[in-house]
Structure 1
Amino acid sequence: MLELKYVEKTFGDARPILHIRDLTIPSGEIVGVLGENGSGKTTLLKAIMGLGEVQHRDILLNGRPVEEQYEQLAYITEEGSYIPKLTPVQYAEFLSAFYPQFDLAYYHKLLKFYELEPDKRIRTFSRGQKSKLEISAGMAKGAKYFLMDEPFLGKDMFTRRDFLKLMIGNLKGDETILIVTHHLDEIETVIDRALIMSRGRVEADLYMDDLREQGKELAAIMAEKAGYRPDRYKSVLE
Structure 2
Amino acid sequence: MIELKYVDKRYPASSALLYVHSLTIPTGEIVGILGENGSGKTTLLKSMMGIGEMWSGEISYDGKPPTEAYDRIAFVTEEGSFLPDLTPDRYGQFLADFFPRFDRNYYAKLLKDYELPADRKIRTFSKGQKMKLELSAGLAKRADYLLMDEPFVGKDIFSRRDSLKRMVQGLTGSETVLLSTHLIDEIENVIDRAVVLHKGLVRADFYVDDMRERGLSLTDVMTEVRDSNTSHPYQWPEG
TM-score (norm 1): 0.92
Alignment of 1:89-108 (within 5 A): 89-108=89-108
How far 1:87 sits from its partner (Å)?
Answer: 0.7
Alignment of 1:45-194 (within 5 A): 45-194=45-194
Q: Which whole-Å CA distance do the structure 1 matches of 2:30 and 2:222 have between them? A: 18
AA matched with 2:208: M
SS at match of 2:178: strand
Kept after mapping to 2: 8 A contact 1:196/1:204 = yes
AA matched with 1:200: G
- The corresponding residue for 1:202 is 202
Kept after mapping to 2: 8 A contact 1:4/1:22 = yes
How far 1:71 sits from its partner (Å)?
Answer: 1.0
Give unmatched runs, 5+ long, in structure 2: 230-239
Which stretch shows the higher mean deviation, 32-41 or 57-66?
57-66
How far 1:55 sits from its partner (Å)?
Answer: 2.0
SS at match of 2:54: coil
Kept after mapping to 1: 8 A contact 2:17/2:40 = yes
State the superposition RMSD in angstroms: 1.6
How far 1:52 sits from its partner (Å)?
Answer: 2.5
The alignment of Structure 1 onto Structure 2 pairs a total of residues equal to: 229
Q: Which whole-Å CA distance do the structure 1 matches of 2:215 and 2:224 have between them? A: 16
Give unmatched runs, 5+ long, in structure 1: 230-238
- The corresponding residue for 1:236 is none
SS at match of 2:134: helix
* Structure 1 ranges of 4+ moved more than 4 A: 12-16
How far 1:202 sits from its partner (Å)?
Answer: 0.5
How far 1:228 sits from its partner (Å)?
Answer: 7.8
SS at match of 1:93: helix
Q: Deviations over 1:207-228 (max 9, x none)?
A: 1000111111221211121228
Q: Which whole-Å CA distance do the structure 2 matches of 1:204 and 1:54 have between them? A: 22
Change (3 A) 1:128 1:15: closer
AA matched with 2:140: A
Change (3 A) 1:56 1:16: farther
